[in-house]
Structure 1
Amino acid sequence: MVSGMRKNGKQWHSPRAAFRPEAATRATSSWAKRAEGRIALAATKAREKEMKEEKEAERQGRIQAIKDKRAAKEERERYEKLAEKMHRKRLDRLKRKEKRNKLLNS
């Protein structure tokens, strides 16, 4: 690179190129290497997503178990209240009838 006299008068400094770090890294790494890196990154992201989905499914399972437990408890309490008022055999008939209706409706 041949240039004329420096404008600021500091001719004793050696001339320097512009600081472009990204250009240097691109020149040293090949296209194949960069593509490989992208593939590795995509695989990592997919694994991360899969792990997050598993964790969320586990969480939803726990939530559903709690909801089912609460519903069963409410049902039990409701039948206990009914049992205080009516005869046990009549209560059993009512339970069977409700189960049939649930099966038909679902």
Structure 2
Amino acid sequence: MSIPAAPPSILTTPGIRKNGKQWHAQKSAFRPKAGQTSFEKRTQERKALAATKAKEKEMKDEKEEERQRRIQAIKDKRAAKEEKERYEKMAEKMHRKRVERLKRREKRNKMLKS
């Protein structure tokens, strides 16, 4: 003779609430220290967050550097184009050799200034 085992996990439903507000969700007991984590776990989370922030900053810096490089390339290209147009206008008025001589002289002055 064996004693029959209890049926596996019978679903228990709470009875009718005393205050009659059955539509409200059931509240659990207030436990003030329930959500606390250990100091080691908090320090690990802080380290992980710091590493993530450092990686994000590095990626942003790389992106900004690439953007600045592109902007500088565009500015250089525009400056070269303007200079070329200026020399072409000079060449219309002056002799070609004189324009080349002026170009060389301006390049020397640029090298001295920088």
TM-score, normalised with respect to structure 1: 0.77
Shift of the alpha carbon at 1:25? Answer: 2.0
What are structure 1's unaligned runs of at least 5 residues? 1-9, 11-15
TM-score (norm 2): 0.72
Q: CA deviation at 1:17?
A: 4.2
Structure 2 equivalent of residue 6 of structure 1: none
Query: Which residue number corresponds to residue 80 of structure 2?
Result: 72
**Structure exhibiting the larger radius of gyration computed from Cα positions:** 2
Match of 1:13 in 2: none
Q: Secondary structure at the match of 1:18?
A: coil
The structure with the greater share of residues assigned to helix is 1
CA-to-partner distance for each residue in 1:38-79, whole Å, 9 max, x for gaps? Answer: 000000000001100100000011000000000000000000
Query: Which of structure 1's runs of 4+ aligned residues deviate more than 6 A?
Result: none
Question: Any unmatched runs of 5+ in structure 2?
Answer: 1-17, 19-27
Alignment of 1:5-84 (within 5 A): 17-18=29-30, 20=32, 23-26=33-36, 29-84=37-92
Aligned-partner residue type, residue 25 of structure 1: G
The size of the alignment, in residue pairs, is 88
Q: Aligned-residue CA RMSD in angstroms?
A: 1.5
* 1:9-49 superposed Cα distances (whole Å, 9 cap, x missing partner): x7xxxxx74364xx3121xx321111001000000000001
Aligned amino acid, residue 57 of structure 2: K
Q: Percent identity?
A: 72
Structure 1 counterpart of 2:46, which letter?
Answer: R
Separation in 2, partners of 1:62, 1:98: 27
